[in-house]
Amino acid sequence: MTPGRSPVATRDEGGSVAPMIIGFTLVVAVLVAAVVDASAAFLMRQRLDSLADAAALAATEGLEGEAAYVGGLDSRAPLDPAAASRYAAAAVTTSDIAGVAIEVHTHDRVVEVVVRAPLRLPLPVPGVNGSVVTGRAASVVEIRR
């Protein structure tokens, strides 16, 4: 043993940096994949919310115009569920989102639209498939005199 050196310092530590770099690289890659996939899911939900909002507005605007021009309006505009579904479906068909399913519900003066689409992640995770993203919106038919 050389004077002034401890026995621990004489060990060969060559190659101990490579496993650490590989480990950090794997951790960073997993974090990047999680952020990319979470962002894609969030953006898909925002797109579906916007699509549902457009469909609900199209349904109520179409119903208001149809009721006003055909039969006139009294204190309230009647909501026809079949017509609301037609107007909402027409608004959804302009979307470029694949696999969109739409539900239209009418309650009193409210048209509620629920839009669902499958989530396709940019960096798919094994075992996580079949996820569905949902967007919701509602619109009210209001008559002012």
- Give the tokens for residue 142: 């209001």
Model pLDDT for residues 31-45, shown as the tens digit of each residue = 999 999 999 999 999
Domain limits of the chain?
A: 18-140
User: Distance (Å, rounded) from C-alpha 9 to C-alpha 89?
Assistant: 74
Q: In what order do the strands lie in the sheet with 110-118?
A: 101-107, 110-118, 132-140
* Conformational region of residue 106, where left means phi above 0, alpha means psi within -120 to 50, and beta covers everything else: beta
Residue 21 has a pLDDT of: 92
**Number of Cβ atoms within 10 Å of the Cβ of 126:** 5
Q: What pTM, to 2 d.p., does this model score?
A: 0.74
Q: What are the tens digits of pLDDT across the range 61-79? A: 776 665 566 666 565 566 7
User: What local confidence, expressed as pLDDT, does residue 109 receive?
Assistant: 78
User: Tens digits of per-residue pLDDT, 77-129?
Assistant: 667 788 888 888 998 888 888 899 999 998 877 889 999 999 888 888 777 77
The pLDDT of residue 26 is: 96
pLDDT tops 70 at residue 12: no
Residue 85 DSSP label? H
Ordered DSSP codes for 29-71:
HHHHHHHHHHHHHHHHHHHHHHHHHHHHHHHHHHHHHHHHHHT
CA–CA distances in Å: residue 145 to residues 1, 4, 74, 75, 82: 101, 97, 10, 9, 27
**Cα angle: 29, vertex 26, 12; to 5 degrees:** 150
Does residue 131 carry a pLDDT above 70? yes
